[in-house]
Structure 1
């Protein structure tokens, strides 16, 4: 019984350590929501038709996106669009065919210059 209690305690105490990089409702420097993607911090900023994913390191400093690739899938109601993102400075940007609706589900896929890839889900502001 002591062994089971010790394992349960270890799992409960390790939860915060495992989740320490999740940003959830945390806002980035440009006011957009942030999540960890492929070992970097990604901030989603949507303005009209423009979708930008600003990239930061662990210390919150902008990362040059040269060599990065990415895409976003925007789902609003029954409408689904996939946009390719282009690296520019410390962001990956793309243009939707029309304004991105507030509340749209946005899935961001990023591949770093080092080949590490990942995805995160956001809700458009």
Structure 2
């Protein structure tokens, strides 16, 4: 009975996170995949070891990332790496992985906006 209760509790607490992410499945202005997270559109653009997350409004206008924070969990096979993101340029959060982001790499973004909204989005490298 206890394992079932733990699973149900996990699902109840995870539901708000699921509701905050919606993948558009479409490409953003820079060729990356867009996802709705924490009230903004976030486009993931990997390049070698660099991870760039461009932030846009609902009508795809650039949003300043001043005051934003984030981190990324990168899973390549059995290897896991957590990367802290920092604001860069007008509307981006950036970080760098130890290994290049290969196609199929699982990337999970955790983001907090300047207004305090939080959310999570999952991408494939």
* Matched residue, 1:79: 79
* Matched residue, 2:94: 93
Distance 1:30 1:43 in 2: 8
Distance 1:80 1:23 in 2: 23
Contact 2:70/2:84, CA 8 A, preserved across alignment: yes
* Matched residue, 1:65: 65
TM-score with structure 2 setting the length: 0.80
Runs of 4+ in 1 over 4 A off after TM superposition: none
User: Aligned Cα RMSD in Å?
Assistant: 1.4
**More strand by proportion, 1 or 2?**
2
TM-score with structure 1 setting the length: 0.80
Gaps of 5+ in 1: 1-18
Gaps of 5+ in 2: 1-18
> Structure 1 residue 120 and structure 2 residue 121: aligned?
yes
- Say which one has the larger Rg: 1
* Matched residue, 2:25: 25
Distance 1:23 1:98 in 2: 25
Contact 2:24/2:36, CA 8 A, preserved across alignment: no
Number of paired residues? 105
Distance 1:24 1:81 in 2: 26
